[in-house]
Amino acid sequence: MKRNPMNQFSPVIAVPDLPRRRFVQGLAAGGLLLGLGPAINSSWARSADTATGYAPVLEGTEFDLTVAETPVNFTGSPRMATTINGSIPGPTLRWREGETVTIRVHNRLAVDTSIHWHGILLPFQMDGVPGISYKGIPPGETFTYRFKVGQTGTYWYHSHSGMQEQTGMYGAIIIDSASGRSVQADREYVVQFSDWTDEDPMRVFSKLKTQSDYYNFNQPTAVDFFKDVSRSGFRSALEKRKMWNEMRMSPTDLADTSAATYTFLMNGSTPAGNWTGIFRPGEKVRLRLINSGAMTFFDVRIPGLKMTVVQADGQDVEPVTVDEIRIGVAETYDVIVTPGDDTYTLFAQSMDRTGYARGTLATRAGLAAAVPQLDKADWLTMGDMMGAMGGGMAGMDHGSSGGMAGMNHGGMAMDHSKHAMPSGMAMGDALAKPSTTARHAKTEYGASTDMRVDMARTNLDDPGIGLRNNGRRVLTYADLRTIGGPIDSRGPGREIELHLTGNMERYAWSIDGLAFGQSTPVHFKYGERARVILHNDTMMTHPMHLHGLWSELESDGGGFQVRKHTINVQPAQRISFLVSADALGRWAWHCHLLLHMDAGMFREVVVA
């Protein structure tokens, strides 16, 4: 049995059960408890003239980071958090392209820890994934990371041990160009989103394993049924409800967790804490948006201000101006705003619409603008469930472990277990464009998979559930184009297809129906250029992160779109990207929803 790189011991925090209907939006200003020494107080030292709740910035080439437990209070109840140098977020690390950085990480916990440098290209031994790139950092020991910085932009770092990322162990990275700034701004702020729970994260996981919709209170009601009757008639409404019931699925299953357990943070501040960034009217302000949440997609907007996107995942993109951005877990976006003589709310609502993080852009501290109402929670559509054939209900084949076993609607679903092409099989001239025919592995036909989508959609211009036709200009992947084009002008030599799979009732997550520990590594030959297809057979969006290598997203026609380290794959969607296997070693590849990764949606990658 392989050692599971996520299966590290995390601090156990004894807390009482929260009432299921207690929604916490930040009952107090929240944050680190004061009076605990200069290491903690110093993390807020910059707040007087720049921003409240802003993490300390460490610059240079030599860094010391100490991981320890620190008392916090985000909801009115004290808890213990996992912190770096006593702050949440941890210190912002500012590096310079071309320099070699040395980072000494001191573990003051009673359990192992680690730090992964998300999106940073480095030797695999420095990547920070226990069980893959090294053994981790035992209690009382120090591990020294050392590597040359070969890129620029906005990134972040976090623990890859147990649930430490959920309990506060994350921070921002800014890498300045050796040749000067490519994006001009008068002022800049890191804006780091996250989610906090007073519960022991393993308790949250246990609840979901027992009842996958435990935190979902947006379930269809009798009132919704009669609304459907008034819109489309009794028979149609009854058939719709019957279909969802037979599938044992809910059209409101947008997220596994919600504000029933989470308080949403902006730079470590609760909504009541009101993180504030100061500006002078007319300045160009650069906001480095980072989603460091464990499980939460945030939809970000600033009412009254347009945002011009200039970077995605640290890479310069052709500027595109929007009203709203969905930022998936682990993604980063840099935007430019030009505020006038006014006060603005920076509003980041969760995708399931149960809560939000918020802050303020203002000309001085102490000001606040109106906070928007949460948007109404939207329902998944047949397109979200069944892809290209959603309207006719023909594209989804339900596995034998779920409802409607053995059935396929419309007679168009096909059992590919006997006709599947081996993963990685060369396709000759067909490689000019990504393939569109689903090739389900035989391992998908089992208890760990409750649905399979045969005719997935390939569009990149869909902003996603809850953002369609909302009257605002919402960023999509189709809007993003990396300046300078692809890293490598070669086309792919082969195509690798992997399916994102799960069983909601069992709260089981996997790739090709296999959880980590049951699967074999994905192999790349050093120096090759390959196409990867990710085909989502689930009803949830998965932010997929490939360590050590860039993922160059393609349009559905096979053209270069944008370079990323984390790609959101929407329900019933099929996306493709090219990989240049230019980094030898062992790497991790996983869904960045922490509980999905821990449940098994994880693979090892070997480049040799």
Residue from 20, 450, 470, 75 nearest 214 by CA:
20
Would you state the structure tokens that stand for residue 428, as one six-digit string? 């000759």
pTM of the model: 0.85
**If DSSP codes are grouped into helix, strand and coil, which group holds residue 208?**
helix
- Residues 149-177: tens digit of each pLDDT: 999 999 999 999 999 999 999 999 999 99
Residue from 83, 91, 105, 112 nearest 9 by CA:
112
Q: What's the whole-number mean pLDDT along residues 529-545? A: 97
Q: What is the pLDDT of residue 157?
A: 98
More confident residue, 220 or 43: 220
Instruction: Count Cβ atoms below 10 Å from residue 461 Cβ, excluding itself.
Output: 10
**If DSSP codes are grouped into helix, strand and coil, which group holds residue 532?**
strand
| Integer Cα distance of 483 and 325 in angstroms | 20
- Residues 328-371: tens digit of each pLDDT: 999 999 999 999 999 999 999 999 999 999 999 999 999 999 99
Q: What is the pLDDT of residue 262?
A: 97
Residue from 22, 20, 26 nearest 356 by CA:
26
Q: What is the pLDDT of residue 21?
A: 30
For residue 23, name the pLDDT band (cuts at 50, 70, 90): very low
Q: Is the pLDDT of residue 212 over 90?
A: no
Residue from 535, 506, 495, 497 nearest 600 by CA:
506
Would you state the structure tokens that stand for residue 271, as one six-digit string? 């909504």
Q: Which amino acid appears at position 51 of this protein? A: A
For residue 248, name the pLDDT band (cuts at 50, 70, 90): low
Q: Is the pLDDT of residue 49 over 80?
A: no
Using the CB atoms, write b or e for 288-300: b if 16+ within 10 Å: bbbbbbbbbbbbb
**Are the CB atoms for 95 and 101 separated by under 8 Å?**
yes
Q: What is the pLDDT of residue 389?
A: 53
Q: What's the whole-number mean pLDDT along residues 392-401? A: 38
More confident residue, 604 or 392: 604
- Residues 135-145: tens digit of each pLDDT: 999 999 999 99
- Please indicate whether the domains covering 31-183 and 382-607 agree at the CATH topology level: yes
| Integer Cα distance of 11 and 201 in angstroms | 10
Would you state the structure tokens that stand for residue 313, as one six-digit string? 């995942």
Domain residue extents for the chain: 31-183, 382-607
Q: What is the pLDDT of residue 454?
A: 94
For residue 247, name the pLDDT band (cuts at 50, 70, 90): low
The DSSP output letter for 18 is: P
Q: Is the pLDDT of residue 423 over 50?
A: no
Got the DSSP string for 174-195? EEE-TT--SS--SEEEEEEEEE
Pairing between β-strand 307-312 and β-strand 452-453 as defined by DSSP bridges: unpaired
CATH topology of domain 382-607: Immunoglobulin-like (2.60.40)
Instruction: Return mean pLDDT, the chain.
Output: 84
Residue from 1, 82, 116 nearest 589 by CA:
116
Q: What is the pLDDT of residue 356?
A: 98
Q: Is the pLDDT of residue 411 over 90?
A: no
| CA trace torsion 17, 23, 24, 25 (10° rounding) | 170
| Integer Cα distance of 180 and 538 in angstroms | 44
| Integer Cα distance of 395 and 1 in angstroms | 36
Residue from 166, 157, 159 nearest 201 by CA:
166
- Residues 58-97: tens digit of each pLDDT: 999 999 999 999 999 999 999 999 999 999 999 999 999 9
Residue from 502, 512, 347, 389 nearest 443 by CA:
512
What homologous superfamily is domain 31-183 in, according to CATH? Cupredoxins -  blue copper proteins (2.60.40.420)
Q: Is the pLDDT of residue 511 over 90?
A: yes
- Residues 266-320: tens digit of each pLDDT: 999 999 999 999 999 999 999 999 999 999 999 999 999 999 999 999 999 999 9
| Integer Cα distance of 290 and 530 in angstroms | 29
Q: How far out from the chain centre does Cα 343 lie? A: 29
Query: Any idea which residue has 């009101």 for tokens?
Result: 274
State the DSSP H helix or E strand holding residue 453, giving kind and residue range, or none if neither: strand 452-453
More confident residue, 7 or 190: 190
What are the start-end ranges of the H helices in 97-249? 201-210, 222-232, 234-247
- Residues 453-491: tens digit of each pLDDT: 999 999 999 999 999 999 999 999 999 999 999 999 999
- Residues 260-275: tens digit of each pLDDT: 999 999 999 999 999 9
